[in-house]
Homo-oligomer: A and B are copies of this chain.
């Protein structure tokens, strides 16, 4: 029987493994932990890293909280539901170097007192400059973990990520996408245990999919132009998170711990009025690829 306690415990193991892997890659900074309690029930462990060799700012959060069901969730659940339990691991890492992509991962489990229960999650990559070979590697890692469970998962969840990580007001995707899924409920095909295993496997794919890219790129030299482009792309990241990201907005609406929710924002970001990229430049090449329905795996 997969209980909320089983899930929360395994999610914390995944948090530990990931922090260890990221610290090793960084080689300088260590995560510091803030343990906190939710005003209603539960709490979390927010782990943040700052000013390392590789990572300028980032966080790997675990939380397990209970509360009254927010109004905007009511349409998703049984009419009789009044409260929720939610647990998850949520990561955003902002590297110093514009050559190392921003990475995001989230796995989560949600249940109500009326018996609704589902899993969600995703991983997506936001390169400042898209390297198509690395993009292919990244997507292949995600396809591999999906294929272990259901041959339709990768295509469905890749396209879901394209739709989800879309900055509508800019008509750009946030990065090269990845996978995104939500409301995965047990059925005749897939038990709760299998879904749980899938979600944990996604969590454990994080290091496999990201560290080789970070490692390969972290020593590439860069100049002011690349840095400025990174600051602008981070501005887009801020726009996405504050305007569209469901996790962020859920946190803001349910009065979650604000510092844990907004740890996803970069240390520095920029906006320049009506910024245009030079035709044929590396920035222009990247912009061309920030769209839905790119088949990264060729």
Contact = CB atoms under 8 A, between A and B. Distances in A.
A263 interface: yes
B169 A50 contact: no
A238 B242 contact: yes
Given A239-B242, A242-B242, A243-B242, A59 B267 contact: no
A209 interface: no
Contacts of A263: 273
Interface in A230-251: 231, 235, 238-239, 242-243
12 contacts: A48-B273, A50-B273, A57-B273, A169-B255, A169-B258, A170-B258, A242-B242, A243-B252, A262-B271, A265-B271, A266-B271, A269-B269
A268 B239 CA distance: 14
A270 interface: yes
Copies of this subunit: 2
A112 to B, nearest CB: 24
Main secondary structure of the interface of A (DSSP, over half): mixed
Contacts of A274: 34, 48, 259
Contact of A270 (B169, B242, B267): B267
A272 interface: yes
A252 to B, nearest CB: 5
Nearest to A275: B259
